[in-house]
Homo-oligomer: A and B are copies of this chain.
């Protein structure tokens, strides 16, 4: 599109409406049990046709966020996004304790590879150095919460993947290497659309937005331990610093 003004920007109206309403619910403007404005009112608010609003509501109903009742209205069903705290000591399971009943971490795959420039820099290695790469997926109450890729120095953690499978907890694995304490050295946060694989694994509708966190965990003396790239569905999670 060089000359024609692309006002639509490639994101369908119904999706933007769905996102906006979901945000009102998650953000607390609409509480669980509240009745939404009528379809006609929403249509006017978003300058859209009632059918377009209905499509947005249908998506939210599919997600379980709202439910329509003929003759009565459309009501908020679920609510609340989980909060993921980021601080000096960031531990996955402790962080979300109390916000969900069951927390599971699934190991997807692992392999050896040569560090890319970004990975090498994060871990303080030379580009091309051997690193362990681990792919994982975490869920709370059966809903996927994060898709993470972790890299570690192969020389220091040669069998990291095997220990993750055996011990399940990252903290426990580090402890098994004699690392009793470690801290978050840096976290960089960005956002983008999910790709096809992420969409599928995280159980999202295509085009969903991800919060992307690039984190480096380090020993107390500052030497880097691991570099993790985690992707959180923005509709289910927020990060708290």
Contact residues of A with B, CB < 8 Å?
1-2, 6-12, 14-16, 18-20, 23, 27-28, 55, 58-59, 61-62, 81, 83, 86, 117-118, 184, 186-193, 195, 199, 205-211, 234, 237-241
Contact = CB atoms under 8 A, between A and B. Distances in A.
Contact of A11 (B2, B15, B210, B211): B15
13 contacts: A6-B59, A7-B206, A8-B207, A9-B206, A9-B207, A10-B207, A16-B193, A20-B195, A27-B118, A86-B241, A188-B238, A189-B238, A189-B240
Contacts of A192: 19, 23, 209, 234
Given A10-B11, A10-B14, A209 B187 contact: no
Given A118-B28, A199-B9, A209 B193 contact: yes
Majority SS at the chain A contact face = mixed
Contact of A193 (B7, B11, B118, B210): B11
Nearest to A7: B206
A46 to B, nearest CB: 9
Contacts of A9: 15, 199, 205-208
Number of copies: 2
Contacts of A188: 83, 238-241
B238 A1 contact: no
Contacts of A58: 1-2
A19 B190 contact: no
B187 A1 contact: no
A3 B127 CA distance: 48
Contact of A190 (B1, B28, B193, B238): B238
Give me the 10 closest cross-chain CB pairs, A-B, nearest first. Answer: A9-B206, A10-B15, A11-B207, A9-B207, A10-B12, A191-B191, A187-B241, A191-B234, A190-B238, A189-B239
Contacts of A117: 28
A12 B1 CA distance: 14
Given A12-B12, A190-B238, 11 more contacts: A1-B55, A1-B58, A1-B62, A9-B15, A10-B14, A16-B207, A184-B241, A188-B238, A190-B234, A190-B239, A209-B209
A211 B191 contact: yes
